[in-house]
Structure 1
Amino acid sequence: MHTIDLLVIVAYLAATAWLGLRLSGRQKGLTDYFLGGRDLPWWAVSLSVVATETSALTVIGIPVMSYVGDVSYLQLGLGYILGRIVVALVMLPRYYDGEMVTAYAYLGKRFGRSTQTTAGVTFLFTRLLADGIRVLAAAIPVKIILDGMGLHASYFVIIVVLAVVTILYTFIGGITAVVWVDVAQMCLYVAGGLLTIIVVASTDGFGWLTDAAEAGKTRMFVLEGNPISASNGLIPSLIGGAVFAMASHGSDQLVVQRLLTCRTRLEAQKALIWSGVLVFVQFAIFLLVGLALWGYYDQATPADLALTRDDEIFPRFILEGLPAGISGLLLAGILAAAMSTLSSSLSALSSSTVTDVIGRLRRTPLSDEQGLRYGRWATIGWGLAFIAPAMFFRSDEGNIVVLALGVAGITYGGLLGAFLFGIINTRAGARDANVAFVLAVAVNAFFFVMEKYVTGEVWVAWQWYPLMGVLVTLAVGGLLSLTHPPRPSAEVPVTAEGSVR
């Protein structure tokens, strides 16, 4: 690590914070702070969606998949595209009806206050766990840098610093600052992936690609294996990926909040579908990075390289294989991309806290001034809360991408199932939706805990969690709805508590 690398990192992080604050504009109320005044261009929103859902997890986690395995992770990208198309055509129009601030306002409109609050609280808890892992992903390259310089900072110290820095510009700039920073960061870390491939090819040629093909590492479609427990199979990746994308992009406030910042429903649909194409291309780039590194390190395993985690392979190459200054720029991109994703989560968590919890528990509607004040305090609180789950998952030895997706998948199925349940079943009431939702989350949590902390065996691949949650919600909710007379109307009017006037 050279002095110029450190200077580049410091300068870039300062420039990122300045950019976020410079482009944030003045935040006058809830719509400005949480939705950017509904005036952001669709292409920026599309890039922001991609940066938010992948960021540092993509940069350091996906190359590992092809390094130790193959490129079959691309199957999931195809499923993601299919799922986004369904969300764009079926779910987005309902969010734009009534100018809702959060995804869960639709559940409040359909089932009432209790269901909206239940879904909102569940989102808060799951997002806290999943994004605690994202914070850990950002801390991994930082620790490698500091260890290489003889400065042995703990993960705890690194995580605290990242959280505090991110809170600052999110607190002031709101979603507008978050989106524009996302755009800049995505361009940087994708360019870093392409630069890595160019550097390896310039020194070793493209022989590693031929060797990878001969070793079976360029295989994209996996047709063999148990479709229920084999997480790299075509069927679970395609179907599970589609349902996962429907849940993450149709019922997760982290993504829906961005889509609601678009000027029109049509622009939001365009942003969502194009984000699926961009994610597939991004997956391909970083899987190719993994193959290049596999060749660069002469096919050595991470253990042979004395790495404590598989996810450290790309950060190590950035320090060892890239020229001075360039490695600093790419490491800064990883950090800034991770912080932009964390800021996205802070904005989504604070908006859901204010709208779905505080706003629904109060007897009188929140004013714009009150909502803005509560939102900023919620931003600080959630930023500090990320520290605990990041430290909890620090000792996990599995791939960090799979870990984050598995945690998110626990509740995605129940959330998506509740939305579909409200659309399909016209006689269902709040009790039916609430009981079905809680049971669906409990079923997925059971399989996750058994795999990670009890048996160590995969009974159900994580790609199936969302679909399993949807089926449980529809089945249990459907049976419960038969125990009472049909509702006179499938919808109830949108109140000021669930919309912006």
Structure 2
Amino acid sequence: MIWDLIVLVFYFLVVFYFGFHFAKNTQKEDDFYLAKKEIHWVFLMISLVATETSSLTFLSIPSLSYKGDFRFLEIAIGYIFGRTIVALFLLPSYFSGNTISVYEYVGNRFGTSPQKTISFVFTISRLLGDGIRLYVSSLPIAFLLERMGFPISPEGLGMIALTILSVVTIIYSVFGGFRAIVFTDVLQWVIYLLGGIFALGLILTQMGETTIINKIQTLDALGKWKVFVFDYNLTGDNSYFILFAILGGAFISIGSHGTDLMLVQRVIATKNLLSGQKVLIGSGIVVFFQFLIFLCIGSLLYVFYEGKSIPPDKVFSHFIINEVPSPFLGILVAAILASAMSTLSSTINSLSLTWARDWGMDKWFSPRILSLFFGVLLFFASLIPYFLVETWEKGILEMGLTIFSYTLGPSIAVFFLAKGKRDLPISGFVFSLLFLFSILLTVAVGIGWKLSFTLLVPIGFCLLFGFVSLGRLLKKV
């Protein structure tokens, strides 16, 4: 295990190098948050993919094909459609002015109240969701420390792991700014992808050529290569019914890549509209093939562990822990951390950006001070699961991972209304209240009717859009 720890230490040192290497000339906002729009679109595209890929993606995507088939690719197809819509419809507006935060665009159309409200919702959802991701991402480090025989409780090791992960991420985010984050993202994505390819190759090697052919035929007979679901279930879950899956994937992608500052930041950091469109559409294609690799891992693990009782959500972790030799275990753990740190560093930078521009804090604090503040806040958010009993911990983990589905629909409606030429029939303050009410109503409808997650975003969009349309009708009466 000592070699695995050496690999992790080396990885952290490389990340430190990137942070301090790009620490020069990052005091000004246009450099700290957008790198003066000097970075080539290919690097920004990879950074975008790395940012939206968390450690949960690394560990959970294989579980989908392990317990099912390849139907998750329907949603990935929807992602491509959604990003194309954003690239052609919303993106031109973001490049038409000199805004750094996309929420400034909302403020220019509807006033400061909606601008600050959507910024606040973004802040809360990011702190909750990514704080939990930070907690989950620290578990592999805690596992390595425990295997090395440290005489500390699992909770104590978890705290140490969280502190290490947080300190490294905060340092290179605060000192290097957006430029360091992007190029570190590229490095981390390469590690993440190579880790997945290595795991896939290791499974194939251990199975043997003859066994592989037989097992692939077995998977085909079981229908585990199935991608498209054309059967609508009148009583069951229809999340992956082809129409719902592609439509839901498109709406999720429109919301995340059209209204979420953390992801849109990488797009508007390009030098022109055409480059931004390449970043968006290209990232969707890369994500599709990335999902394909990890779904293949899950299917092969199904036949690799044939007959063994392993929870699907833990099967890839089980393989990594028990089958990967040292020091390759350290490399795979580094891949898990890489997928987490790229998301967390981007969260820190984007939260700093929205409070600098949308709340005017840049009059009082430098970008680095704001980034340090939100990095520390994110660390404390990641400690929440340690203070909850197990049943509540499971609940908040699920809530943290699904909260974006509840907020994205109304957020999309805000930007589509801003894109239109018509003014609001209500004041900006009332519009902000309707925006928040639409989120709460989406949560109530989704939980009360137990709707599939692919329908939550369209429902939230229709609710806010419907409220504003109703306001226009009442105004005419």
TM-score between both structures, scaled by the size of structure 1:
0.86
Q: Aligned equivalents of 2:431 and 2:472: distance in 1?
A: 9
CA contact (8 A) 2:62 2:294 kept: yes
Q: In structure 1, what is the equivalent of residue 436 of structure 2?
A: 438
For residue 388 of structure 1, report the CA deviation from its aligned partner.
4.2
Q: Aligned equivalents of 2:307 and 2:399: distance in 1?
A: 25
CA contact (8 A) 1:23 1:177 kept: yes
Q: In structure 1, what is the equivalent of residue 124 of structure 2?
A: 125
Q: In structure 1, what is the equivalent of residue 347 of structure 2?
A: 345
User: How does 1:304-319 map onto structure 2 within 5 Å?
Assistant: 310-319=312-321
For residue 130 of structure 1, report the CA deviation from its aligned partner.
1.6
For residue 343 of structure 1, report the CA deviation from its aligned partner.
0.7
Q: Aligned equivalents of 1:405 and 1:197: distance in 2?
A: 26
C-alpha distance 191-68 of structure 1, shift in aligned 2 (>3 A): same
Q: In structure 1, what is the equivalent of residue 263 of structure 2?
A: 255
Moved more, 260-269 or 280-289: 260-269
Q: In structure 1, what is the equivalent of residue 295 of structure 2?
A: 287
- CA-to-partner distance for each residue in 1:97-137, whole Å, 9 max, x for gaps? 21211121111011001110011001101111221232133
State the one-letter code of the partner of 1:181. T
Q: In structure 1, what is the equivalent of residue 338 of structure 2?
A: 336
For residue 40 of structure 1, report the CA deviation from its aligned partner.
1.2
Q: Aligned equivalents of 1:150 and 1:219: distance in 2?
A: 44
For residue 91 of structure 1, report the CA deviation from its aligned partner.
0.9
Q: Aligned equivalents of 1:376 and 1:156: distance in 2?
A: 22
Moved more, 317-326 or 104-113: 317-326
CA contact (8 A) 1:436 1:474 kept: no
Q: Aligned equivalents of 1:159 and 1:377: distance in 2?
A: 16
1:51 aligns with 2:50: yes
- CA-to-partner distance for each residue in 1:273-318, whole Å, 9 max, x for gaps? 1000000000000111111222222253324xxxxxx543223322
C-alpha distance 418-476 of structure 1, shift in aligned 2 (>3 A): same
- The unaligned stretches of length 5 or more in structure 1 are 304-309, 360-365, 452-457, 487-501
User: How does 1:390-401 map onto structure 2 within 5 Å?
Assistant: 391=386
C-alpha distance 299-347 of structure 1, shift in aligned 2 (>3 A): farther
1:169 aligns with 2:164: no
- CA-to-partner distance for each residue in 1:8-39, whole Å, 9 max, x for gaps? 11111211221233235421211111111121
Q: Aligned equivalents of 1:163 and 1:276: distance in 2?
A: 29
CA contact (8 A) 1:146 1:153 kept: no
User: How does 1:123-272 map onto structure 2 within 5 Å?
Assistant: 123-151=122-150, 152-154=153-155, 155-205=158-208, 206=212, 207-226=214-233, 229-272=237-280
C-alpha distance 131-311 of structure 1, shift in aligned 2 (>3 A): same
Q: Aligned equivalents of 1:404 and 1:186: distance in 2?
A: 23
The 3-state SS of whatever aligns with 1:221 is coil
Q: Aligned equivalents of 2:301 and 2:36: distance in 1?
A: 44
1:426 aligns with 2:422: yes
State the one-letter code of the partner of 1:98. G
Q: Aligned equivalents of 1:145 and 1:255: distance in 2?
A: 32
Q: In structure 1, what is the equivalent of residue 20 of structure 2?
A: 21
Q: Aligned equivalents of 2:323 and 2:22: distance in 1?
A: 35
- CA-to-partner distance for each residue in 1:48-76, whole Å, 9 max, x for gaps? 11111113122111111111222211111
State the one-letter code of the partner of 1:372. P
For residue 390 of structure 1, report the CA deviation from its aligned partner.
5.1
Q: Aligned equivalents of 2:445 and 2:188: distance in 1?
A: 35
State the one-letter code of the partner of 2:405. G
State the one-letter code of the partner of 1:316. H
Q: Aligned equivalents of 1:157 and 1:423: distance in 2?
A: 47
For residue 330 of structure 1, report the CA deviation from its aligned partner.
1.6
Q: Aligned equivalents of 2:407 and 2:341: distance in 1?
A: 24
C-alpha distance 69-194 of structure 1, shift in aligned 2 (>3 A): same
CA contact (8 A) 1:354 1:374 kept: no
C-alpha distance 405-208 of structure 1, shift in aligned 2 (>3 A): farther
For residue 231 of structure 1, report the CA deviation from its aligned partner.
2.1
Q: Aligned equivalents of 2:143 and 2:300: distance in 1?
A: 21
Q: In structure 2, what is the equivalent of residue 489 of structure 1?
A: none
Q: Aligned equivalents of 1:325 and 1:394: distance in 2?
A: 33
Indicate the structure with greater helix content. Answer: 2
State the one-letter code of the partner of 1:194. I
C-alpha distance 243-33 of structure 1, shift in aligned 2 (>3 A): same
User: How does 1:449-464 map onto structure 2 within 5 Å?
Assistant: 450=447, 459-464=450-455
Q: Aligned equivalents of 1:129 and 1:234: distance in 2?
A: 31
Q: Aligned equivalents of 2:71 and 2:143: distance in 1?
A: 28
| CA RMSD after TM alignment | 2.6
Q: Aligned equivalents of 2:19 and 2:216: distance in 1?
A: 39
Q: Aligned equivalents of 1:177 and 1:385: distance in 2?
A: 24
Match for residue 380 of structure 1 among 370, 375, 380: 375
State the one-letter code of the partner of 2:154. A
- CA-to-partner distance for each residue in 1:188-232, whole Å, 9 max, x for gaps? 111111111111111213243332222222211122244894223
For residue 261 of structure 1, report the CA deviation from its aligned partner.
1.3
Q: Aligned equivalents of 2:292 and 2:390: distance in 1?
A: 27
Aligned-residue identity in percent: 30
CA contact (8 A) 2:58 2:339 kept: no
CA contact (8 A) 1:413 1:465 kept: yes
- CA-to-partner distance for each residue in 1:372-401, whole Å, 9 max, x for gaps? 25533433343334324555697555997x
Q: In structure 1, what is the equivalent of residue 323 of structure 2?
A: 321
Q: Aligned equivalents of 2:357 and 2:203: distance in 1?
A: 49
TM-score between both structures, scaled by the size of structure 2:
0.90
Q: Aligned equivalents of 2:231 and 2:380: distance in 1?
A: 42
C-alpha distance 311-144 of structure 1, shift in aligned 2 (>3 A): farther
CA contact (8 A) 1:436 1:472 kept: no
State the one-letter code of the partner of 1:202. T
C-alpha distance 336-375 of structure 1, shift in aligned 2 (>3 A): same
Q: In structure 2, what is the equivalent of residue 35 of structure 1?
A: 34
For residue 157 of structure 1, report the CA deviation from its aligned partner.
4.1
The 3-state SS of whatever aligns with 2:270 is coil
The 3-state SS of whatever aligns with 2:224 is coil
CA contact (8 A) 1:103 1:256 kept: yes
